[in-house]
Structure 1
Amino acid sequence: MAALVHAVATPVRTDLHPFICESHFFDSWQLVLPATEQQPAMFYLLKMLGNSPAWVDSLMTLRNKAVQLVGLKDLSVMSAISLEKAPSDYQIGDRVGIFTLISQTPSEVIVGDNDKHLEVRISFLKEMKNEQMVLTITTAVKNHNWLGRCYMWFVKPFHRVIAPATLKRLILTS
């Protein structure tokens, strides 16, 4: 039986490619969606953020306390999102939880965050692949300075656990 969530090559169709070309880190994780799923990509972003595991929020709280010591911003926690707003109500530039909405189509949403040490972009791409509907989350990070490189050295191992764990909850919380 195939893994529920697995690492994949960056999708060819993502609009994130220009950013990835300048990135210092990127990865992609994929989940097969139920065959009947008809929701836009924004639905999955909102659902993933709103259903983040408590341990991820605890790690974010710890992260926020630690980075304030070096002057970085407190991002809050992943699950701090209003689920009352419909996916179609979001406009470019709106905050979507801890991220800012950069682009949105029914099949792909790109969100991100900028700080003095790095830029983050995350794509949620929903597409047909091998006759299955799949959702691929691609994260890309561009470091601006030594602080960004240091930050990513600490964050990367956690990211590689958090990204698939939060993606997996999309199916487990249905």
Structure 2
Amino acid sequence: MSPHVTITTLPQPSVIHAALPGAHFWDAYAAPDPAPEASALQAWLDLAVRTPGWTRRLMALRNRLVRLVGLQDLGQLDGGLGAGRPQAARYRVGDRVGIFTIRHLDAREVVMGQDDKHLDVQVSLCKREQDGRSVVVLGTVVHVHNTLGHAYMAVVKPFHRRIVRAMLARMPLPAADHGPR
């Protein structure tokens, strides 16, 4: 894991924190915010278009395998975002962003989700101050509904953690974190 990416707790108060009761899985990782002036959704879009190639290959494999057991082919994290830098201003609550639907949107937090009969997943990118520095916190909360959902999470959980850390590690560092020049 990048030394700039740290395990943390879901921010309080935040919309995603309210989803914790009854959750079967949750995690959160923080990294320095390279663009504190950008909205939370813009930060997510900037992360999604930097999805590592190995993550795209894992998602393609995941999509092929889950169709065999009746789960949804979600596509890719950056699916439909196009080339260049996608602009947050064009998105509203209810719109799809890659594999997720936007559920909550304000300048400091975007919450997106994907639900099916096996499990409900919510992902939040929250911008906040931590120890006097601007950080982004990428958090996930999962509610499992049945045995297939539990089996799916048992397989996906280790990959999820690597993917989240790798995505955050690919963010550019704020100018102050680059060291002496």
Taking structure 1 as the reference length, the TM-score comes to: 0.92
Residues 40, 108 of structure 2: 8 Å contact kept: yes
- Cα distance in 2 between the residues matched to 1:30 and 1:130: 12
Match of 2:65 in 1: 66
Offset, 1:81 = 3.2
Residues 80, 98 of structure 1: 8 Å contact kept: yes
Superposed, which structure 2 residues align to 1:128-147 within 5 Å?
128-147=129-148
C-alpha offsets along residues 130-168 of structure 1, whole Å, 9 cap, x if unaligned?
210010011010001000000000000111111110111
The 1:99–1:87 alpha-carbon spacing in structure 2 relative to 1, beyond 3 Å, is: same
C-alpha offsets along residues 72-96 of structure 1, whole Å, 9 cap, x if unaligned?
1101112223256520221111001
Match of 2:77 in 1: 78
Match of 2:26 in 1: 26
The percentage of counterpart residues that share the same residue type is 36
- Cα distance in 1 between the residues matched to 2:13 and 2:90: 24
- Cα distance in 2 between the residues matched to 1:8 and 1:81: 30
Moved more, 147-156 or 17-26: 17-26
Match of 1:158 in 2: 159
Match of 1:54 in 2: 53
Offset, 1:9 = 1.7
Residues 50, 81 of structure 1: 8 Å contact kept: no
- Cα distance in 2 between the residues matched to 1:154 and 1:120: 15
- Cα distance in 2 between the residues matched to 1:48 and 1:75: 18
- Cα distance in 2 between the residues matched to 1:41 and 1:47: 10
Aligned length: 171
Q: Which runs of 4+ in 1 moved over 3 A?
A: none
- Cα distance in 2 between the residues matched to 1:33 and 1:113: 25
Taking structure 2 as the reference length, the TM-score comes to: 0.89
Residues 78, 97 of structure 2: 8 Å contact kept: no
Structure 1: which 5+ residue stretches go unaligned? none
Moved more, 7-16 or 58-67: 7-16
- Cα distance in 2 between the residues matched to 1:98 and 1:41: 17
- Cα distance in 1 between the residues matched to 2:94 and 2:153: 25
Q: CA RMSD in A?
A: 1.7
